[in-house]
Amino acid sequence: VSEIKRRKFLKTSAGLAAGAAAGPMIWVKDANAQQWKNTPEKGAKLRVLRWSRYVQGDIDQYMKNVAAFTQKYGIEVRVDNEGWEDVRPKAAVAANTGAGPDIILSTNDDANLYPDKLVDVTDLCTYLGSKLGGFYPVCDPYLRPDGKKWIGVPLGVAGVCMVYRQSHMKAAGFDTFPKDTDGFLKLCKALKEKGTPPAFALGNATGDANTWCQWLVWAFGGKLVDTSNKVVIDSAETLKALEYVKDLYGTFAPGTLSWLDPNNNKAFLDSQISLTNNGISIYYAAKNSQDPKVKEMSADIYHANMPVGPVGKPTEFQLFFNQMIFKYSKYPKAAKEFLRFMMEPEQMDPWVQAGIGYVTPALRHYEKNPIWTVDPKHTPYRDSMKNMLPSGYAGKMGYASAGALADFIVVNMVAEAASGSKSPKEAAQRAQKRAERYYKV
């Protein structure tokens, strides 16, 4: 109990500090600025491995920031890119063998797989947090698992929102996008009747299927595990979610069981569907399209946060990005300096803008970045970190949560119930069995 209390206290005090930094008390800011003292090792060189860009602007600006860092500190930085799903095994091997890039930008639960191989960055995170409005609480389970020590620096998430065609929604009799799951089902039914159906990926799609399936189960109060990592997916709440998804699936365009990540983008841009879940990429593909018809469509594309279910609070699931420094690095101080530099507003603000809002930063300060308001359609993505629950909710992260997610247990369960290949009860029981294996009862 005392542990919980202390955590709560720490959180509230962090929040207070955040409020202070954002407020008019400029002296706090100065004090914090002085707080950061770090001298990179002489002759340091850094290697960074990161996930490849989703939008060209991201990597262009990232490399500009890297060049600015090299110019300022005289530290050479080599940046390698890999598809985000390939970074995970590489990072794990680096952790295991004790050799590899000094800094790795990876995803989801990764830092919890080898926490003792990572450099403690509590000083850096405390500095960044107090200067830049604090990290969102959801960063804790990812990178501060014990509530005290930061094992990595949160970068942000690739936000996923509902993407819809405004004119189709209006034609279906809705003026605004429904805020709750009941309204959402009604909208989907109306869209289907008008011949402009919604569709959500139900294949083994790492990005899109996971984000919406987890959201849905959580929205009804279902969850894979409870706070003590006991598997509780076979519950009345999950069954409600699965009954709901049966109705919802009836409104989908055909073929979603086979859909992988790119399918909904293609179908949406071809006007075959009018509602799906996605990052901001569909909108930008349309906006920058050479095809005048598609370009015209971009005016009709709108975004909304995922509707709230019976639990009464947002339950989004997003792809989380971390930044880890490995203990084998010969230049941990230089690495810290690099991450600090990249997270400072001078670098981060232009980067968020160049990435056209694809990444929602983990520090509250960046809610004020003009990218979120320059086009109102960007705004929902600003709140992606605020509205999300962590991977492996409500349990702790580790091999079990990473394995269960990679094995598509929740996605398969939702797909089985949706398609009617299994009854909701059977689907939930099967998911329970599969998950128990990962969480070894």
| The one segment of 27-35, 53-61, 167-175, 406-414 that binds other proteins by CB under 8 A | 406-414
Dump the DSSP string for 26-57: HHHHHHHHHH----PPTT-EEEEEEEPPSSHH
What amino acid is encoded at 19 in this protein?
G
Closest CB to other proteins among 207 and 380?
207
Under the binding rule (CB under 8 A), the answer on residue 88 touching other proteins is yes
**How far is 120 from 108, CA to CA, in rounded Å?**
18
Under the binding rule (CB under 8 A), the answer on residue 203 touching other proteins is yes
CA 426-430-433 angle, to 5 degrees, is 140
Instruction: State both tokens at 296.
Output: 């015209």
CA 347 to chain centre: 21
Under the binding rule (CB under 8 A), the answer on residue 430 touching other proteins is yes
Q: How far is the CB of 436 from other proteins (least distance, A)?
A: 11
Under the binding rule (CB under 8 A), the answer on residue 204 touching other proteins is yes
C-alpha dihedral sign at 256, 260, 266, 269: positive
Under the binding rule (CB under 8 A), the answer on residue 263 touching other proteins is yes
Torsion angle (degrees, nearest 10) of CA 419, 422, 428, 430 = -120
Closest CB to other proteins among 91 and 342?
91
Q: Are 287 and 377 within 8 A, CB to CB?
A: no
Under the binding rule (CB under 8 A), the answer on residue 202 touching other proteins is yes
Q: How far is the CB of 92 from other proteins (least distance, A)?
A: 4
Under the binding rule (CB under 8 A), the answer on residue 270 touching other proteins is yes
Angle between helices 236-249 and 409-419 (to 10 degrees): 60
**How far is 135 from 155, CA to CA, in rounded Å?**
10
Binding residue for other proteins (CB under 8 A) from 30, 80, 85, 346? 85
CA distances from 332 to 42, 118, 126, 317, 325 (A): 12, 10, 17, 32, 7
Size of the site for other proteins (CB under 8 A): 43
Under the binding rule (CB under 8 A), the answer on residue 275 touching other proteins is no
**How far is 110 from 270, CA to CA, in rounded Å?**
36
Under the binding rule (CB under 8 A), the answer on residue 213 touching other proteins is no
Instruction: State both tokens at 422.
Output: 């299994």
| The one segment of 163-171, 202-210, 231-239, 287-295 that binds other proteins by CB under 8 A | 202-210
Q: How far is the CB of 416 from other proteins (least distance, A)?
A: 6
Residues numbered 95-114 forming contacts with other proteins, rule: CB under 8 A: 95-96, 113-114
Binding residues for other proteins (CB under 8 A): 85, 88-89, 91-93, 95-96, 113-114, 117, 202-206, 253-260, 263, 266-267, 270, 272, 399, 402-403, 406-407, 412, 415-416, 419, 421, 430, 433-434, 437
